Amino acid sequence: MNYFKTLGLGLMAMAAVSCSHGPQTMAGKGLDPADMDTTIAPGADFDQYANGGWKKRHPLPDEKSRYGAFDVLGDEAEKQVKELFAAISSNNFKQGSIEQKIANFYASGMDTTAIEARNLAPLQPYLSQIDELKSKADLQQLLAAWQSYGLNPLFGIYADADQKNSAMKVAYLYQSGLGMPNRDYYLNKDDHSLDIQQKYRAYIAGLLQILGQEPESAQQDAETIYAMEKEIAEFSMSMLDQRDPYKVYNKMNLDQLIATAPEYNWKAYFDGVKLSNPGDFIVCQPDFMKAMAQMVEAKPLADWKQYLKYHTISNFSSELPHAVGDLSFEFYGKTLSGSLVQRPRWKRVQEATAGALGEAVGQLYVKEYFPPEAKERMLKLVENLRKALAVRIGNLSWMSDTTKEKAIEKLNAITVKIGYPDKWKDYSSLEITPDSYFQNVVNANNFYFADMLSKVNKPVDKTEWGMTPQTVNAYYNPSANEIVFPAAILQPPFFYMDADDAINYGAIGVVIGHEMSHGFDDQGRQYDKIGNLNDWWQADDAERFNEKTKRLANQFSQFTVLDTVKADGKLTLGENIADLGGLNISYTAMQMALKGDEPQIDGFTPDQRFFLSYAHIWAQNIRDEEKLRLTKVDVHSLGRYRVLGPLRNTPEFYAAFDIKAGDYMYLPEDERVVIW
Ligand SMILES: [Zn+2]
């Protein structure tokens, strides 16, 4: 859990950029007319018009619950990492080198013969510890110790910049304890939700049977465990409330936390995670901690034992024999997301390896795949976008000069990270052997946990990255006021060195503008230029901002996702502000870059190509189950609405495609929203 604002869930993309005006020898590069569906008018459905051909030619692979233009780049990065791993495995590297650790980790995960032969043996010590619990005090001690294995039953801890003193790292305690994605999954009563709840109970029972219980008792215990989680869901904070940075910022010391949730032994907890002097820390959800502490006391120890056994085996489902992983896929992959088959093992193990040894893989990745020119070109483009946003802020009719001045100061203070960190994480103390995948994962979890907590109450290291270089995504970090673009998104097919400006501004330009806009969305605007929660707005300006964002939220809430289910305009507000801002800012930047005599390409003007390029970023096929899941858990809108929503508010789009009253893409002028 962190407050990074990413470009997309899981996969996204972007690339370095050419803003030169050389001869356009590669006419049409970057935009394939075959991706379009010209049987439909642009005003009738611009997503279908721009992406209809692409969607038809890219049916969903069985292993995917959604597949978009960005996933194509994700697949590309996956292939690159595969080649890196292949090169490593064919060589002998020194004991302790990062290459050897990567090779060992990957090999241990691919050794399914050993994993199947060991069966549940790696889990046994953990199950025994649960069996041996004699009291609630024992239980609490175990909960603390186990957080370092990556298990966060009931609640978790992490380290991050203090949101009101961004130079220092502090500890954050946050709610956890649910096996389904969030509280809504337990509390919703519609047919689809009831079906998921029933299948989730079956999943719990299935795992308990693998642990050796008879079907009937497994079913009974599954009901008990489900009822416990439902109780936890009832006192969990909603996703919407968690978007309010002040609601999740509750600074406390040990005495105050003890007063808030007296039934829990917090002193023993901090000793257990080896943070005996936590100092001041942040409790994200105090009401949750209070209710959770009471629940720990109230429920019988026997119930907690079953709850813990289930969560432990479920947590390690990827590292245990395939019977466990298959059940997990059945629920999380099929039922929740609609995937038809599990991804091949090599993809899953590769992803786990690139996660556990993130910056080790990153070092090899950038050496092979990240040309230094990409960084330089990207920096130039970011500065063009920064200039464009400054111009737009200067021209805003709804904002006072006083607030404008502060906004420009914040914009100028945004730091930019491109490609990879200046300083790599040191993995020398992390032991990885070729023998046990399970143990390697536990070792990696322990390593990150200790590393994270060692930074509590120390100055923030500004060189740290929140994503690895091989990640196809980007983010804005409000407490550092920084935008970050990992190497993997800075390459084709989304950036074409020889494409015209319209294509690159419509894609990478919009992505940069998107991340910049996060500094000024409904959450980001509450942070000042050094990343502190600190109101720098004139009250009138804030009021006008809120009025605009309310209208934007209402617009998105009217989109029908499936049958009677509507999009959640409030949950996705920050991302929608960033999409709309990114589109507007990049359009201005393109206007500043164009000379005005650019020729049509494939029959399209630069403006038309800009909007087609933008729409293409969000081309996406997606399963119904995944639509419903993402609507409940993702702060980003679905791809289709990322196309339709922002474009319907953009006057230059109306002009470019002759959108008229009565068209689906048309909004009356007084309903359109432009914020940045
Ligand atoms: Zn975003």
**What digits encode the pLDDT tens for the residues 611-669?**
999 999 899 999 999 999 999 999 999 999 999 999 999 999 999 999 999 999 999 99
Query: How would you label 458-489 residue by residue, b for 16+ Cβ within 10 Å and e otherwise?
Result: eebeeeebbbbbbbbbbbbbbbbbbbbbbbbb
Q: Specify which of 9-18, 448-457, 503-512 reaches the highest per-range mean pLDDT.
A: 448-457
Burial class (CB in 10 A: 0-12, 13-18, 19+), 504: buried
- Smallest CA-to-CA distance from 586 within 375, 387, 374 is with 387
Look at residue 497 in the predicted model and tell me its pLDDT: 63
Q: What is the pLDDT of residue 542?
A: 98
Number of residues that this document lists for the chain: 676
Residue-level pLDDT at 11: 30
pLDDT tens, residue by residue, 397-430: 999 999 999 999 999 999 999 999 999 999 999 9
> Ligand 1 center to residue 198 CA distance, Å?
34
Each residue's pLDDT tens digit, 311-320 = 999 999 999 9
User: What would the mean pLDDT of 86-98 be, rounded to a whole number?
Assistant: 90
Contact indicator for 79, 472 with CB cutoff of 8 Å: no
CA–centroid distance, 636 to ligand 1, in Å, is 7
Strands (E), 402-529: 415-419, 475-477, 482-486
Q: What is the pLDDT of residue 15?
A: 26
Q: What is the mean pLDDT of residues 247-275?
A: 97
Continuous segment of H or E residues that includes residue 182: none
Distance CA 668, CA 651 (A): 11
Gap from CA of 652 to ligand 1 centroid (Å):
23
Q: How far apart are CA 581 and CA 44, in angstroms?
A: 24
Q: Closest Cα partner for 51 from 616, 641, 647?
A: 616
Three state DSSP letters for 636-664? CCCHHHHHHHHHCCCHHHHHHHCCCCCCC
Tell me, in angstroms, the distance from the centre of ligand 1 to residue 175's CA. Answer: 23
pLDDT at residue 31, as a whole number: 85
What contacts 260, CB < 8 A, 6 or more positions away?
252, 283, 286, 289, 290
> Over the stretch 580-592, which tens digit does the pLDDT of each residue have?
999 999 999 999 9
Q: What is the pLDDT of residues 462-478, one digit of tens each?
A: 999 999 999 989 999 99
Cα 301 to Cα 28, 132, 204, 244, 297, distances in angstroms? 67, 11, 19, 35, 9
Q: Print the SS3 string covering 109-158.
A: HHCHHHHHHHCCHHHHHHHHHHHCCCCHHHHHHHHHHHHHHCCCCCEEEE
| Residue pLDDT, tens place only, 30-82 | 788 999 999 999 999 999 999 999 999 999 999 999 999 888 889 999 999 99
Sign (positive or negative) of CA dihedral 500, 503, 504, 506: positive
Q: pLDDT by residue (tens digit) across 330-363?
A: 999 999 999 999 999 999 999 999 999 999 999 9
Taking residues 222-240, report their average pLDDT.
Answer: 98
R_g (Cα) of the chain, nearest Å: 25
Place 433 in a pLDDT band, splitting at 50, 70 and 90.
Answer: very high
End-to-end CA distance of the chain: 28
Neighbouring-strand partners of residue 620: 68
Q: Please determine, for residue 25, whether its predicted confidence score (pLDDT) is greater than 90.
A: no
* pLDDT score at 592: 96
Q: How confident is the model at residue 8 (pLDDT cuts 50, 70, 90)?
A: low
Nearest CA to 411 out of 380, 379, 389, 392 is that of 389
pLDDT for position 29: 66
Provide mean pLDDT across the span 287-293: 98
Instruction: Report the range of poorest mean pLDDT among 41-55, 192-206, 500-514.
Output: 500-514
The overall pTM is greater than 0.85: yes
Q: How far is CA 334 from CA 204, 326, 561, in A?
A: 15, 10, 19
User: Could you tell me how far CA 534 lies from the centroid of its own chain?
Assistant: 25
Mean pLDDT of 186-208: 97
What separation in Å is there between the alpha carbon of 624 and the centre of ligand 1? 23
The rounded distance, in Å, linking the Cα atoms of 266 and 363 is: 40
Average pLDDT for 193-206: 98
Q: CA-CA distances (angstroms) from residue 226 to 83, 201, 222, 236?
A: 43, 7, 6, 15
Catalytic-role residue among 45, 521, 579, 663: 579
Q: Which of 120-124, 234-238, 573-577, 593-597 has the lowest mean pLDDT?
A: 593-597
Given a cut of 60, whether residue 1 has pLDDT beyond it is no
**In the chain, what percentage of residues exceed pLDDT 70?**
95
Q: At what angle do helices 46-57 and 606-617 cross, to 10 degrees?
A: 60
Instruction: Clarify whether 515 is annotated catalytic.
Output: yes
- Which of 221, 229, 500, 515 is labelled catalytic? 515
| Mean pLDDT, residues 433-445 taken together | 96
Strand, coil or helix: 376: helix
pLDDT of residue 13: 27
Give the chain's mean pLDDT. 93
Please name the residue that has the structure tokens 């502190």. 532
Distance 635 CA to ligand 1 centre (A): 8
* Alpha-carbon dihedral 148, 150, 153, 155, rounded to 10 degrees: 70
Give the model's confidence band at 16: pLDDT under 50 very low, under 70 low, under 90 confident, else very high: very low
- What's the Cα-to-Cα distance from 37 to each of 41, 52, 291, 504, 621, rounded to whole Å? 9, 5, 54, 22, 15
